[in-house]
Amino acid sequence: MSGPLAIAAVTAVLKDMLTMGLMAHDLSSIGSYAVTALPPDRIPTGHDEPNQLNLFLYHLTPNLGWRNEGLPSRDGRGNRIANAPLALDLHYLLTAYGAADLNAEVLLGFAMQMLHETQALSRARLRQVLGPPSPFGTLSAVDLAEQIEIVKIAPVYLNTEELSKLWTAMQSRYRPTMAYTVSVVLIEADAPVPAPPPVLKRGKDDTGASVLGTPPTTLARILPGASDLLPAMRLGDELRLLGSSLDVQGTLSAVFENQQAGLSSTLVPQAPGTSRQLNLRLPDPLLDAGALDAWAIGMYGVALQVEPPGDTAWRTNSVAIALAPRIEVSPLDAPAGDLTLTVVCRPRLQPRQHARVRLLFGSRTLAPETIDTPDTPTEPTTLTFKVKAAPPGDHLVRLRVDGIDSLPVMATGEPPRFDFDPSQKVSLT
């Protein structure tokens, strides 16, 4: 999610995009020009009118698709239980001014073509414009590049009545104008919220839903081998790939792609498999140190790469699964009161994840005091957290990175029986 600077950040990126786009063309014939983001009543008009493109944010509306996400955000006592995002659509007027005949039309035409061909603000452009040095001085809005939704640009064709009302309200002289909607901007608070332990069982003999695939080779689900009820995979886990027609001729491999982190890994399933199930194991970070940097906590899309003998290779559909962190917590026994916890995280944290990592100590949410990700890619990330006035008793510890929690449970037996992992439980006396 984004911070409160997201609205200004979108305007800054659009202004930069228009400036750079006009500079890519030879417009010396119309003279000097400028790109601004001012209210129209502050732009001089008349005989001394400059050549100018102006981007004005005139309206904001709630995004209907995200409007109720995360609600309710407070319980009956008024305590915060979730950080519901403020989802906004931004409405802009792009107006052209000209010192001579046709200058305004020239500028507006180039700008409209540019926005027509650039229908979204890429994450790379957002990082480039909003990254250091920040356009807001000591404040940073680069987290806009990490929000889950892409920021899209769409034209809005207003009729003469709508334009007349807008320009009358602004008390300015009308100039050639085009309207655009930028969607969606997600603004979320970073306030601490309670995090209750996970549910270990949902009713008696809960077997979950059955999913059937159809030929040709199709993936339906990918599940942790220990239990279908586990919400994520971890490095070193065995996985079950379920689908149809999985016993194909030729070479079969599983491709794991984390688009946000820009990582991709290929694993070969364990033999033998069946037409409906394949088994594979993720690399163990204690045995394969290279896995610490080759994998990242986050969402992965998993597809099968099929290479038939003598034929063109192809990929199946992709299914999603989260990769949760593996953690080591110390100390596990300590006196009640103030204490410092050290957490070793595998795989390593990426720099973009440092600002969004939290420790869940019981039902409390804590920000890290220090984060140490060594330059050596084969070493894990080490974090420290300070817990104030911790009461006696057993406290479950989880690490949350990009909204994905470490798994504080163990599955044993067949059918699996769940218990809390004693290595992620701190006992205070």
CATH number at residue 420: 2.60.40.10
pLDDT at 130 over 50: yes
- Which residue type is seen at 62? P
Give the pLDDT of residue 210.
Answer: 45
Domain-embedded: residue 199 = no
Say if CB 339 and CB 390 are below 8 A apart.
yes
pLDDT-derived band of residue 1, with 50, 70 and 90 as boundaries?
Answer: low
Same-domain status, 15 and 162: yes
Average pLDDT of 391-400?
95
Does 28 or 54 have the greater pLDDT score?
Answer: 54
3-state helix, strand, coil in the chain (%, to 5): 20, 40, 45
Domain limit, last residue, from 323, 338, 373 = 323
pLDDT tens-digit profile of 314-348?
999 999 999 999 999 999 999 999 999 999 999 99
Domain-embedded: residue 56 = yes
pLDDT at 204 over 90: no
Token pair of 6 as six digits: 């997201």
pLDDT tens-digit profile of 141-161?
999 999 999 999 999 999 999
Does 369 or 245 have the greater pLDDT score?
Answer: 369
Same-domain status, 423 and 402: yes
pLDDT at 354 over 80: yes
Domain-embedded: residue 201 = no
Same-domain status, 345 and 318: no
DSSP conformation class of 77: T
pLDDT tens-digit profile of 285-304?
999 999 999 999 999 999 99
Phi first, then psi: what are they for 84, rounded to 5°? -65, 130
Total domain count, the chain: 3
Same-domain status, 269 and 121: no
Same-domain status, 258 and 281: yes
Give the pLDDT of residue 207.
Answer: 66
Does 206 or 350 have the greater pLDDT score?
Answer: 350
pLDDT at 51 over 70: yes
The stretches of 275-417 forming alpha helices (DSSP H) are 291-294
Domain-embedded: residue 251 = yes
Same-domain status, 277 and 343: no
Above pLDDT 70, what percent of the chain? 97
Averaged confidence pLDDT in the chain: 92
Same-domain status, 330 and 316: no
pLDDT-derived band of residue 213, with 50, 70 and 90 as boundaries?
Answer: very low
Which residue range is the domain that position 310 belongs to? Answer: 218-323
pLDDT at 403 over 60: yes
Say if CB 142 and CB 125 are below 8 A apart.
no
Same-domain status, 311 and 274: yes
Domain limit, last residue, from 270, 289, 323 = 323
Give the pLDDT of residue 214.
Answer: 43
Same-domain status, 179 and 228: no
Same-domain status, 333 and 303: no
> The pTM is what?
0.59
Domain-embedded: residue 152 = yes
Same-domain status, 299 and 343: no
DSSP conformation class of 417: E
Same-domain status, 333 and 315: no
pLDDT at 390 over 80: yes
Give the pLDDT of residue 212.
Answer: 43
Domain-embedded: residue 64 = yes
**21 three-class SS:** helix
pLDDT tens-digit profile of 24-43?
999 988 999 999 999 999 99
DSSP string, 177-240: EEEEEEEEEEE--------PPPPS--STT---------SSSEEEEEEESS-TT-S-B-TT-EEE
